[in-house]
């Protein structure tokens, strides 16, 4: 029994070593991490398999009694790749004092290139290789210190959609990298990604996603500031059963229990009202990736352009509200899906090959890899505000409500 288990662990380890080598090599060659890009593709992506295997390993660690062994072996595997002859790059992260300092994160994420270190101490900022502003926070109104050397890279991370950022002008000519959800950023940092399963999982059967769901449209929000979104939902509610869940609604869902709450929604509702508060290109948030896809409700999308959704989401897995003349027409279609489980389940077909990864974790590996990139052409944004805002958003599609 014990031998068998050990053998199994060994086989797993060997396969991980082999594939991880490929992973490291690809990383060194400068390949971008790949994920589902809207193009149908075969599941022969080696990096995908590495991800899956690592997952398996983690699962095994908790499932089998041989926990200790697996953990130790796993540690060994990754230590093999730990040594990196490159000199370490210092990353100064502004304004996030609780962030873990040092190089741990790059090891924890098994980055192919990990000679990087994080600091949040402001006195280390001027000497850092990278100055990172707006990291899970707002970009400060003014640069925290002047740029000391031309070799220092300045990056800003923007989490929200373009709105009112007058002070961005203070960064003109200073910023080299942008990190946002948009694909025209230096490093794209989306709210969620889709990935392909490795082959064994691919064969898994897709269950009946309509089973046990007696309610229709759920919307989890406490933010009622976006007028169009509220009006659209109100109008939709006239034609199909809907529930808004959150503060100031009949059904409350305290923030601490959000995941419990989403679990409940997943069991009871067929559709999720995944409407953004702004209509900006490529802007799709956790309302789509987490609330709808992860929690197994068909998303009703309002926000980005249709082509943006087409590029990012699996085909035939969502409903684009603007395809329907009005909320009433949309409701009619939802009723149709509600009555026919076959039709409803067709929206989940992608699950045979693709799964959503809604972890919103910063792209540390890509940051470190880029910092070590030699002969990168110098680049900076002369007009950062213009880049961020120009033609980035449109006005809400009020014509759907029969008003102009």
Ligand X SMILES: *[C@@H]1O[C@H](CO)[C@@H](O)[C@H](O)[C@H]1NC(C)=O
Which of 178/221 has CB closer to ligand X?
178
Pairing of strands 130-133, 116-119: unpaired
CB of 154: closest distance to ligand X in angstroms? 7
Question: Rounded to an integer, what distance in angstroms lies between the CA atom of residue 218 and that of residue 207?
Answer: 21
CB 231 within 8 A of CB 401: yes
Which of 177/197 has CB closer to ligand X?
177
CA dihedral for 224, 228, 232, 235, sign (positive or negative): positive
Per CB under 6 A, 208 contacts ligand X: no
22 Cβ contact partners less than 8 Å away, ≥ 6 residues apart: 46, 47, 50
Q: Residues in contact with ligand X, total (CB under 6 A)?
A: 14
CB of 341: closest distance to ligand X in angstroms? 8
Binds ligand X by CB under 6 A, chosen from 30, 144, 173, 207: 173
> What are 371-376's contacts with CB under 8 Å, separation 24+?
371/89, 371/91, 371/116, 371/129, 371/130, 371/153, 372/86, 372/89, 372/113, 372/115, 372/116, 373/30
Q: What's CA 314's distance to the chain center, in Å?
A: 15
3 Cβ contact partners less than 8 Å away, ≥ 6 residues apart: none
Which of 81/283 has CB closer to ligand X?
81
Question: Rounded to an integer, what distance in angstroms lies between the CA atom of residue 322 and that of residue 292?
Answer: 18
Which of 149/395 has CB closer to ligand X?
149
CB 113 within 8 A of CB 368: yes
Which stretch in 9-17, 33-41, 108-116, 371-379 sits in contact with ligand X by CB under 6 A? 371-379
Which of 177/194 has CB closer to ligand X?
177
Which stretch in 50-58, 169-177, 239-247, 249-257 sits in contact with ligand X by CB under 6 A? 169-177
Which stretch in 171-179, 184-192, 209-217, 254-262 sits in contact with ligand X by CB under 6 A? 171-179
CB of 377: closest distance to ligand X in angstroms? 7
CB of 173: closest distance to ligand X in angstroms? 5
Which stretch in 2-10, 50-58, 259-267, 375-383 sits in contact with ligand X by CB under 6 A? 375-383
Binds ligand X by CB under 6 A, chosen from 8, 320, 324, 380: 380
Window 317 to 356, contacts with ligand X (CB under 6 A): 340, 342-343
Beta strand residue intervals within 67-214, DSSP E: 89-93, 116-119, 130-133, 153-157, 177-180, 187-188, 193-196
CB of 299: closest distance to ligand X in angstroms? 20
Per CB under 6 A, 378 contacts ligand X: yes
CB of 354: closest distance to ligand X in angstroms? 21
Which stretch in 38-46, 70-78, 292-300, 374-382 sits in contact with ligand X by CB under 6 A? 374-382
Which of 97/108 has CB closer to ligand X?
108
Per CB under 6 A, 128 contacts ligand X: no
Per CB under 6 A, 398 contacts ligand X: no
Pairing of strands 177-180, 187-188: parallel
Residues in the chain: 404
Which stretch in 158-166, 194-202, 372-380, 392-400 sits in contact with ligand X by CB under 6 A? 372-380
Which of 117/237 has CB closer to ligand X?
117
- Both structure tokens of 188: 């794209």
Q: What's CA 206's distance to the chain center, in Å?
A: 23
Per CB under 6 A, 174 contacts ligand X: yes
Binds ligand X by CB under 6 A, chosen from 54, 153, 220, 354: 153
Q: Which residue has the tokens 């300092």?
A: 101
CB of 371: closest distance to ligand X in angstroms? 10
CA dihedral for 330, 332, 338, 342, sign (positive or negative): negative
CB of 346: closest distance to ligand X in angstroms? 7
Q: Which residues of 137-172 are buried (b: 16+ CB within 10 A; e: fewer)?
A: eebeeebeeeeeeeebbbbbbbbebbeebeebeebe
Which of 173/254 has CB closer to ligand X?
173
Interface with ligand X (CB under 6 A): 80, 83, 150, 153, 173-174, 176, 340, 342-343, 376, 378-380
């Amino acid at each position: 029994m014990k031998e068998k288990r050990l053998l199994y662990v060994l086989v797993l380890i060997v396969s991980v070593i082999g594939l991880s080598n490929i992973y490291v090599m690809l990383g060194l060659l400068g390949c971008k991490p790949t994920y589902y890009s809207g193009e149908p593709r075969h599941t022969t992506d080696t990096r995908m398999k590495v991800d899956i295997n690592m997952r398996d390993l983690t699962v095994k660690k908790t499932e089998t009694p041989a926990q200790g062994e697996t953990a130790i072996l796993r540690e060994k595997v990754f230590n093999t790749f730990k040594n990196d002859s490159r000199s370490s790059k210092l990353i100064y992260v502004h304004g996030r004092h609780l962030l873990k300092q040092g190089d741990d994160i790059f090891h924890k994420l098994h980055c192919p290139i990990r000679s990087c270190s994080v600091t949040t101490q402001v006195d280390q900022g001027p000497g850092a290789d990278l100055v990172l502003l707006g990291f899970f926070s707002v970009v400060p109104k003014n640069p925290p210190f002047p740029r000391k050397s031309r070799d220092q890279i300045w990056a800003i991370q923007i989490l929200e959609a373009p709105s009112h950022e007058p002070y961005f002008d203070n960064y003109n000519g200073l910023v080299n990298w942008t990190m946002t959800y948009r694909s025209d950023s230096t490093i794209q940092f989306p709210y969620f990604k889709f990935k392909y399963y490795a082959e064994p999982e691919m064969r898994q059967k897709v269950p009946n996603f309509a089973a046990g769901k007696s309610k229709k449209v759920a919307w989890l929000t406490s933010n009622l500031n976006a007028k169009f979104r509220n009006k659209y939902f109100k109008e939709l509610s006239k034609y199909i059963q809907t529930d808004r869940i959150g503060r100031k609604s009949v059904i409350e869902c305290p923030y601490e229990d959000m995941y419990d709450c989403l679990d409940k929604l997943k069991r009871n509702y067929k559709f999720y009202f995944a409407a953004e508060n702004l209509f900006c290109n490529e802007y799709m948030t956790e309302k789509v990736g987490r609330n709808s896809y992860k929690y197994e409700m068909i998303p009703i999308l309002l926000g980005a352009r249709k082509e943006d959704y087409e590029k990012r989401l699996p085909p035939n897995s969502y409903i684009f509200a603007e395809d329907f003349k009005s909320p009433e027409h949309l409701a009619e279609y939802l009723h149709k899906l509600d009555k026919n489980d076959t039709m409803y389940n067709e929206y989940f077909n992608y699950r045979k090959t693709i799964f959503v990864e809604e972890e919103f974790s910063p792209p540390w590996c890509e940051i470190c890899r880029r910092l070590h990139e030699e002969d990168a052409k110098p680049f900076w944004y002369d007009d950062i505000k213009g880049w961020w805002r120009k033609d980035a958003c449109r006005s809400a599609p009020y014509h759907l409500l029969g008003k102009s």
